[in-house]
């Protein structure tokens, strides 16, 4: 009888999952992935994103710790071919919950999660870098053009672009002569989305006058 109940519960769960819209099912598969390799299979594949990027991003993160997922259809929206889906996740370990928007896209006929444009906790700690001298953090960032120049970069408008990270509120300064800088500037200056997606390494200047001000290096514009 107990085994029968387990089979019935599993069958019902399968039916519920099967009834979910495909864009939500893509997010469920993404959140339930237990390893970076499994999660890599759920994201929109691109020659800009490699498995090593996910290994680096989640090296200190435990994946697959999701007990329950609930979607807020009233707060989820569709723009062009992309769904912005608000999901609340409940953790298995301590029952804590948090919500986040996930970008679900139909790519090559299959629904997948747009990994670089989905807000994530970075695979490094800004505090550890600022307070303890940890090495610069490599990652993907959603940035917009800024007119803010201060502290070490107060007089750097001629030499650096100022970019604001819309997820973390940090200001990154990119040398105008560095490879890829002009492409990034052209994107943030003309985008209709309000932001552009870039990859790069951020680090604090040696003097560390402010925790919100960082230097951006090895930056490149990300395309899908």
On whether the CB atoms of residues 206 and 177 are closer than 8 A, the answer is no
- Say if 159 falls within a structural domain: yes
Query: Residue 162 is part of a domain; what is its CATH number?
Result: 2.40.50
- Say if 43 falls within a structural domain: yes
Whole-number average pLDDT of the chain? 86
Alpha helices in the chain, H assignment, sequence order: 2-19, 22-32, 36-40, 51-57, 126-132, 181-190
Same-domain status, 33 and 67: yes
Q: Which residue, 88, 113, 138, sits at the end of a domain?
A: 113
Same-domain status, 68 and 144: no
- Checking DSSP bridges between strand 137-145 and strand 110-113, what pairing results, if any? unpaired
Same-domain status, 39 and 60: yes
pLDDT digits (tens, 9 = 90+) for 62-71: 888 888 999 9
Q: Which residue, 89, 113, 137, sits at the end of a domain?
A: 113
pLDDT at residue 131 tops 80? yes
Span 175-200, average pLDDT: 91
Q: What is the pLDDT of residue 223?
A: 62
What domain range is 31 assigned to?
A: 21-113
- Say if 3 falls within a structural domain: no
Q: What confidence category does residue 73 fall into, taking pLDDT thresholds of 50, 70 and 90?
A: confident
Secondary structure class of 13 (helix, strand, coil)? helix
- Say if 204 falls within a structural domain: yes
- Say if 66 falls within a structural domain: yes
Q: Which residue, 113, 141, 168, sits at the end of a domain?
A: 113
- Say if 51 falls within a structural domain: yes
The angle formed by the CA atoms of residues 162, 165 and 167, to the nearest 5 degrees, is 170
Same-domain status, 197 and 165: yes
Same-domain status, 25 and 108: yes
Residues 6+ apart with CB under 8 A from 54: 36, 37, 39, 40, 43, 115
Span 165-194, average pLDDT: 92
Cross-strand partners of 99: 88
CA of residue 224 relative to chain centroid, distance: 14
Span 83-96, average pLDDT: 87
- Say if 9 falls within a structural domain: no
Same-domain status, 132 and 70: no
11-17 long-range contacts, CB within 8 A, separation 24+ = none
Query: Residue 58 is part of a domain; what is its CATH number?
Result: 3.10.450
Instruction: Please state the domain count of the chain.
Output: 2
What distance separates the 2 farthest-apart alpha carbons in the chain? 75
First-to-last CA distance in the chain? 51
pLDDT at residue 77 tops 90? no
Same-domain status, 214 and 139: yes
């Amino acid at each position: 009888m107990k085994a029968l109940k387990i089979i019935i519960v599993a069958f019902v769960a399968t039916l519920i999952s099967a009834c979910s819209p495909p864009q939500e099912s893509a997010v469920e598969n993404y959140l339930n992935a237990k390893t970076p390799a499994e999660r890599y299979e759920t994201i929109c594949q691109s020659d800009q994103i490699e498995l090593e990027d996910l290994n680096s991003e989640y090296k200190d993160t435990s994946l697959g710790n999701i007990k329950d997922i609930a979607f807020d259809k009233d707060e989820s929206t569709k723009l062009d071919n992309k769904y912005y889906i608000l999901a609340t996740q409940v953790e298995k370990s301590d029952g804590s919950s948090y919500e986040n928007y996930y970008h679900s896209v139909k790519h090559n006929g299959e629904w997948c999660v747009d990994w670089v444009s989905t807000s994530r906790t970075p695979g490094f700690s800004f505090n550890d870098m600022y307070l303890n001298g940890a090495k610069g953090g490599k990652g993907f960032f959603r940035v917009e053009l800024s007119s803010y120049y201060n502290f070490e970069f107060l007089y750097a408008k001629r030499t650096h672009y100022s970019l604001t990270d819309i997820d973390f509120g940090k200001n990154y300064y990119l040398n105008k002569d560095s490879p890829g800088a002009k492409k990034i500037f052209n994107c943030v200056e003309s985008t209709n989305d309000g932001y552009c997606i870039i990859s790069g390494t951020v680090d604090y200047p040696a003097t560390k006058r402010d925790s919100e001000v960082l230097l951006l290096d090895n930056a490149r514009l990300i395309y899908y």
